[in-house]
């Protein structure tokens, strides 16, 4: 093991049945550095990390950490020995306080009683040393995603972690919160901590990483210092081909107004306040705003998931009132939710179940649900979305996060929706798959479908929309034509009511 490396993986292989997921992987992370890790969904990134953490047993290969050969038998052992991971979808006890979450599984005791005073002192001192503005007594459920993420990073540091794996750490963060995260990473680098930074956001990787490794189809394709490569080379290594443009041409032509929202307000705090806008047939309307601005709440209100306190929704010239999601679906509305793990999938169910659950009446044969019709529909959508999978009977949790997202989108495509509400549709999806979804959105608009896309990614919202509505503190701050606006104008509107 090289003296300058904190982690080395040599010739790592892992198979599931006949499917070789990792094929002779070599990977190294230098001390006090940030190693970026990229690859298409299903390339093997998560499997490699799970072998490192002892979740999966490796078939072949050797792992060296901090100068010693390791073979951990589970995440607890890896964490206690200095390797930590902050997952994209945070696994926390949301109804407990920050302090409780920090000390889960290792409560300090004094005379046989949990020493809560010591826990509070340790947390307060740790957050202060990391320059994190976190209240140790706050209940996790009341915190923003970024604050909860800070807690997980602090927890990793409290274990004296030498290397921290960050999986899509900025997928739910605002630009300001991203700046804060990068500041913390740089401070921890100076203290000797290394990072593996898994992300599909190219711009971030070039800003925060020292090196970049790219995986494809279970193989390590490229490892280079970040200063010696470029975006085109990385994309080519990821997908096996060059990607000339980041976004397809937005060449749809919007028609007449089909959806009109007037003075829409919601009943529960924080409330939407007097939101009004129109959307045309065949139009792609983007919604942008800071985290907590009301983007997601608006889409949920349009889909009947949130009680309205005022305002009207007019669809195809008729006033409609959706009491629940079924009412919205009866009018051929569809919604891709922001948090797939929380409310987008049935985690214990198969790919077939998750694909077909929203459209069961379509698969009836002689009064009975037909397994063959469901399997045919699932295979079709998995193929259309280029989803990497083994069997339609597999649990959806057996797929990578990005491939789970493809299943969710395929589920709604089975219903052939007329109004498609999409909240962070490309969250956690690789650059090649993103392009395919962008093309799908544009093609749907060209077919006369009405698309409303909510996104926290500024390049995305500028790259695939006709118009952009900007939310600020649960109010609509303004609507701009995409071709006539810029990032500065959108940022100004997002801060209008703060």
* Domain containing residue 429: CATH number: 3.40.50.300
Residue 441, number of CB atoms within 10 A of its CB = 24
Average pLDDT over residues 14-39: 92
How much of the chain, in percent, has pLDDT values that exceed 90?
Answer: 65
pLDDT value of position 26? 96
Q: Is residue 458 part of a domain?
A: yes
* Same domain, yes or no: 66 and 209: yes
> Residue 416: its pLDDT value, please?
92
State whether 303 and 230 are in the same domain. Answer: no
Is the residue at 340 inside a domain?
Answer: yes
Span of 85-89, 304-308, 419-423 with lowest mean pLDDT: 85-89
What single-letter DSSP state applies at residue 272?
Answer: P
**Mean of pLDDT over the chain:** 91
Residue-level pLDDT at 382: 92
Residue 343: predicted pLDDT? 83
Give the pLDDT of residue 298.
Answer: 95
Structure tokens at 279: 């959307």
User: Nearest-CA neighbor of 246 among 408, 33, 35, 432?
Assistant: 432
* One domain for residues 371 and 423: yes
SS (H, E, C) 207-271: HHCCEEEEEECCEEEEEEEHHHCCHHHHHHHHHCCCCCCCCCCCCCCCCCEEEEEEEEEECCCCC
Phi-psi category of 469—alpha, beta or left, where left has phi over 0 and alpha has psi -120 to 50?
Answer: beta
Q: Where are the alpha helices (DSSP H) in 45-171?
A: 45-53, 75-80, 98-102, 116-129, 145-158
From 211, 239, 267, the end of a domain falls on: 239
For residue 241, what pLDDT is reported?
67
Does an H or E element contain 402, and which? helix 401-413
Overall average pLDDT of the 413-441 stretch: 89
| Chain centroid offset of residue 64 CA | 30
Average the pLDDT over 93-121 and give the result: 92
Using CA atoms, how far apart are residues 384 and 386, in angstroms rounded to an integer? 6
Q: Other C-beta atoms within 10 Å of 485: how many? A: 17
pLDDT, one tens digit per residue, over 89-103 is 778 899 999 999 999
**pLDDT (0 to 100) of residue 377:** 94
pLDDT the model gives residue 393: 93
Would 244 be classed as within a structural domain?
no
Residues 195 and 278 in one domain: no
Distance CA 221, CA 179 (A): 30
Alpha-carbon Rg for the chain in angstroms: 24
Q: Which residues pair with 453 in a beta bridge?
A: 286, 422
Residue 8 has pLDDT above 80, yes or no: yes
Residue 63: inside a domain: yes
Do 354 and 451 belong together in one domain?
yes
Q: What pLDDT sits at residue 244?
A: 66
CA 182: distance to chain centroid? 18
Is a pLDDT exceeding 80 seen at residue 60? yes
Task: Please check whether residues 16 and 163 belong to one and the same domain.
Answer: yes
What pLDDT is stored for residue 475 in this prediction? Answer: 95
Q: Is 247 part of a structural domain of the chain?
A: no
CB atoms within 10 A of CB 2: 10
297 & 416 share domain: yes
The fraction of the chain above a pLDDT of 70, given in percent, is 99
Query: Which of the two residues, 56 and 170, has the higher pLDDT score?
Result: 56
At 319-336, the pLDDT tens digits run: 999 999 999 999 999 999
Residues 213, 348 within the same domain: no
Number of compact structural domains in the chain: 2
329 and 197 within one domain: no
Q: What is the pLDDT of residue 467?
A: 98
Alpha-carbon gap, residue 169 to 188, rounded angstroms? 16
Q: Is the pLDDT of residue 126 over 70?
A: yes
Sign of CA dihedral 393, 406, 331, 454: positive
- Say whether pLDDT at 344 is over 80: yes
The Cβ-side half-sphere exposure at 227, using a 13 Å CA radius, reads 1
> Are 275 and 221 members of one domain?
no
474: helix, strand or coil: coil
- Distance, in Å, from the CA atom of 226 to the CA atom of 155, rounded to the nearest integer, reads 28
pLDDT recorded at residue 33: 97
Lowest mean pLDDT across 25-34, 362-371, 442-451, 478-487? 362-371
Q: Average the pLDDT over 85-114 and give the result.
A: 89
Same domain, yes or no: 276 and 360: yes
Phi/psi for 101 (5° steps) reads: -65, -35
Q: Given pLDDT bands bounded at 50, 70 and 90, which one contains residue 430?
A: confident
Measured distance CA(495)–CA(498) in Å, rounded: 5
pLDDT tens, 467-476? 999 999 999 9
User: What average pLDDT does this structure show over 409-436?
Assistant: 89
Q: What integer pLDDT is reported at residue 131 of this predicted model?
A: 84
Across the range 371-393, mean pLDDT stands at 91
Residue 381 confidence (pLDDT): 93
> What's the rounded mean pLDDT across residues 172-201?
88
Spatial separation of the C-alpha atoms in residues 156 and 179, rounded to whole Å: 20
Q: Is residue 314 located within the same domain as residue 455?
A: yes
Determine the structural domain holding residue 384 and report its residue range.
257-494
In a domain, 220, yes or no: yes
Q: Last residue of some domain: 206, 239, 272?
A: 239
pLDDT digits (tens, 9 = 90+) for 297-309: 999 999 999 999 9
Which two three-digit tokens encode residue 207? 């800003």
Evaluate whether residue 246 is within a structural domain: no
At residue 389, the pLDDT reads 87
Instruction: Tell whether 248 is covered by a domain.
Output: no
Q: Is the CB of residue 225 less than 8 Å from the CB of residue 210? A: yes
Crossing angle for the helix pair 431-446 and 401-413, to the nearest 10 degrees: 10
- Split at pLDDT 50, 70, 90, the class of 484 is very high
């Amino acid at each position: 093991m090289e003296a300058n490396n904190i982690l080395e993986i040599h010739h790592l292989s892992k198979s599931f049945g006949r499917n070789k997921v990792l094929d002779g992987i070599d990977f190294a992370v230098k001390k006090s550095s940030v190693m970026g890790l990229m690859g298409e969904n299903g390339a093997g990134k998560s499997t490699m990390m799970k072998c490192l953490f002892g979740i999966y047993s490796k078939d072949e290969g050797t792992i060296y950490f901090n100068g010693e050969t390791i073979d951990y038998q589970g995440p607890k052992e890896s964490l206690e020995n200095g390797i930590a991971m902050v997952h994209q979808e945070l696994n926390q006890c949301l109804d407990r306080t920050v302090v409780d979450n920090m000390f889960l599984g290792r409560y300090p005791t004094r005379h046989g009683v949990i020493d809560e005073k010591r826990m509070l002192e340790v947390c307060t001192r740790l957050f202060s040393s990391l320059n994190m503005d976190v209240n140790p007594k706050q209940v996790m459920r009341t915190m923003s995603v970024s604050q909860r993420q800070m807690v997980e990073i602090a927890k990793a540091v409290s274990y004296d972690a030498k290397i921290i794996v960050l999986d899509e750490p900025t997928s739910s963060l605002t630009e300001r919160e991203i700046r804060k995260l990068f500041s913390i990473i740089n401070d921890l680098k100076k203290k000797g901590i290394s990072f593996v930074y898994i992300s599909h956001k190219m711009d971030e990787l070039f800003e925060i990483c020292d090196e970049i490794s790219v995986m494809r189809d279970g193989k390590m394709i490229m490892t280079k210092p970040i200063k010696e490569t470029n975006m085109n080379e990385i994309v080519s290594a990821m997908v096996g081909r060059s990607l000339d443009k980041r976004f397809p041409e937005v060449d749809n032509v919007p028609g007449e107004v089909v959806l009109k929202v007037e003075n829409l307000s919601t009943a529960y705090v924080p409330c939407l306040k007097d939101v009004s806008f129109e959307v045309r047939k065949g139009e792609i309307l983007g919604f942008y705003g800071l985290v907590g601005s009301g983007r997601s709440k608006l889409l949920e209100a349009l889909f009947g998931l949130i009680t309205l306190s005022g305002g009207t929704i007019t669809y195809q010239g008729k006033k409609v009132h959706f009491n629940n999601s079924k009412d919205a679906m009866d009018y051929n509305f569809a919604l891709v939710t922001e948090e797939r793990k929380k409310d987008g999938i049935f985690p214990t169910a198969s790919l077939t179940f998750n694909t077909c659950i929203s459209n069961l009446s379509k698969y009836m044969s002689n009064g009975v649900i037909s397994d063959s019709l469901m399997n045919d529909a699932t295979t079709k959508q998995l193929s259309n979305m280029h989803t990497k999978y083994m069997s339609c009977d597999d649990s959806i949790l057996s797929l990578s996060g990005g491939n789970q997202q493809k299943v969710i989108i395929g589920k709604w495509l089975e219903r052939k929706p007329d109004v498609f509400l999409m909240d962070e549709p490309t969250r956690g999806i690789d650059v090649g798959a993103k392009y395919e979804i962008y093309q799908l959105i544009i093609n749907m608009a060209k077919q006369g479908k009405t698309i409303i896309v909510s996104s926290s990614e500024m390049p995305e919202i500028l790259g695939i929309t006709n118009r952009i509505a900007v939310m600020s503190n649960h109010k609509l701050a303004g609507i701009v034509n995409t071709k006539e606006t810029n990032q500065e104008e959108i940022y100004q509107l997002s801060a209008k009511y703060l």
